[in-house]
Structure 1
Amino acid sequence: MILSNFKVIFWDFDGVIKESVGIKTAAYLGLFSGADEALIRRIRLHHEEHGGVSRFEKIPLYLEWAGIKPDADTVTEYCDLFSKTVLQAVIDSPWVPGAKEYISANSGRQRFFLVTATPQEEIEEILSNLDIESYFENVFGAPKKKTDAIRETLESREILKSDACMIGDSETDYTAAKGNGITFILRKTAENAKLQKFCEGETLSDFLNE
């Protein structure tokens, strides 16, 4: 019962609430489906090692690698295509086992905040479709940085750092939690094997026993 020790929980979304990390990976690769294998491999590795980083940072970088000038119009075009590709697929993706049940059962006794790299309007639409938006006091999506979202919430809500934790599956989540002095709980996945090796503290695979 790791989570019961905390009054406040900051949740990541992809890979923590929904099993949607693979959907995002496929979408990034699909944007450059005609590229050579070396570029595809480079994009896959970068995305998997930088989970939790916004598409607004990744897509301009991948365009540069592909030899495409990442001007504003081109970045917007690729980001829009990415969004159209992933939105419904994320909604339809499987829940991380026990996540929905834990959130719905405990939102009355714990305070939940969502921090994600998914764009603000998109994550709000996803949560509305999943009918779980009411469980979170605040939802923070891109372009808001996770570190800033946590810091501002702790300060504005006068939350003790010892009362709060962050559940994430990426180095970005780990850095956001540690940078704010709160406990980090790693949701272990096949994609974050490297993070598991150096991540200190509690881990979980699902929420079935929480």
Structure 2
Amino acid sequence: MPLSCIVFDCDGVILESVNVKTEAFARVAEPFGCEVRDRLVAYHLENGGVSRYKKFEWMFREVLGREISSDELNELGRRYAEYAFEGVLNAQLVPGAYDAITAWHGCVPMYVCSGAPHEELTHILHERGLSRFFAGIYGSPPGKSELLAKVVKLADVDPATTVMVGDSKTDLRAAEDVGTLFYGRGDTFAGGTHPWGDDLTGLSAWLETLAAD
């Protein structure tokens, strides 16, 4: 099977930034009480790849029992970015990520699709010297499935020969929605039908096998 395109999530796939963002969610929710904080953190961990704004909307609606105002949403988003940005900017690379990205650069088009806000995402990848490897970088909004569908359309590739590399169920659902292949980072995917690894040290070899079929 030919390999026509590779799409990476960012947090937990390129950068080891999941814990940084988890701590930022906890800090933002702390003033609302321990129960609210813990429920938001649990929801965040269960829904990686979902926009932070969607998570704050969920917190207000499902935990606090009311809709969040636009001013409240913007303020929580601002505080979250303040807490998380520096940590993400300095986060370590996921083992194997840089090797895979550089190995496949120039061979097939590569993209980033992330639940992080678009401007913040592009700034971080630029500052880390990684943006040059990608044909396009796309953050939220919209959601992950819509972003992945957009990439497949822009790249003019067959989804069946496109690989989504992700670390969350949101990433997997996007791949299933769009009809791409999937490679998972983390034991969330253990026992499933998709290839996965504790990190990305095995990704490039798997891609080579895929491209050779």
TM-score w.r.t. structure 1 length?
0.88
Q: Distance in 2 between matches of 1:45 and 1:136?
A: 32
**Matches of 1:152 and 1:38, distance apart in 2:** 38
**What one-letter code is carried by the residue in structure 2 that aligns with 1:140?**
Y
Contact 2:22 2:44 in 1 (8 A): yes
Say whether residues 1:107 and 2:105 are aligned partners: yes
Matching residue of 2:115: 117
Contact 2:160 2:180 in 1 (8 A): yes
Q: Please point out which of 166, 177, 198 is paired with 1:205.
A: 198
Q: How many angstroms apart in 2 are the aligned matches of 1:36 and 1:149?
A: 34
Q: How far apart in 2 are the matches of 1:37 and 1:154?
A: 42
Could you tell me which amino acid in structure 1 is paired with residue 25 of structure 2? Answer: Y
* Structure 1 position 29 matched with structure 2 position 26: yes
Give the residue type in structure 1 aligned to 2:156.
E
CA distance, structure 2, for counterparts of residue 5 and residue 158 of structure 1? 14
C-alpha contact (below 8 Å) 2:28/2:76 kept by paired residues:
yes
* Counterpart check, 1:58 vs 2:55: yes
Q: What SS does the aligned partner of 1:185 have? A: strand
Residue type at the aligned position of 1:14: D
In structure 1, what is the equivalent of residue 138 of structure 2? 140
The alpha-carbon deviation at position 103 of structure 1 amounts to 1.0
TM-fit CA distance, 1:5: 6.6
AA at the equivalent of 1:13: C
Q: TM-score with structure 2 length normalisation?
A: 0.87
- Give deviations 1:140-176, integer Å, cap 9, x for gaps: 1011222112222223332022321100011110011
Aligned position for 2:70: 72
Match of 1:17 in 2: 14
What is the identity, as a one-letter code, of the residue corresponding to 1:188? G
Tell me the secondary structure at the aligned position of residue 28 of structure 1. Answer: helix
Match of 2:41 among 41, 44, 60: 44
Structure 1 residue 12 displacement after superposition: 0.3
> What count of residue pairs does the alignment treat as equivalent?
202
* Cα distance in 2, alignment partners of residues 166 and 5 from structure 1: 15
Is the alpha carbon distance of 1:109 and 1:34 closer, same or farther for their aligned partners in structure 2, counting shifts above 3 Å?
Answer: same
Amino acid corresponding to residue 101 of structure 1 in structure 2: D
User: Does structure 1 conserve the Cα–Cα contact (< 8 Å) formed by 2:49 and 2:168?
Assistant: yes
Structure 1 residues 126 and 200, CA, compared in 2 at 3 Å: closer, same or farther? Answer: same
Change (3 A) 1:32 1:150: closer
Q: 1:200 aligns to what SS in structure 2?
A: coil
Tell me if structure 1 keeps the 8 A contact 2:40–2:55.
no
Q: Are 1:160 and 2:158 matched, yes or no?
A: yes
Deviations 1:128-148 (A, max 9, x none): 110110111111101122211
Once structures 1 and 2 are overlaid, which stretch shifts more, 97-106 or 33-42? 33-42
> After the TM superposition, which of the residue ranges 67-76 and 23-32 deviates more from structure 2?
67-76
Structure 2 stretches lacking a partner, 5+ long:
205-213
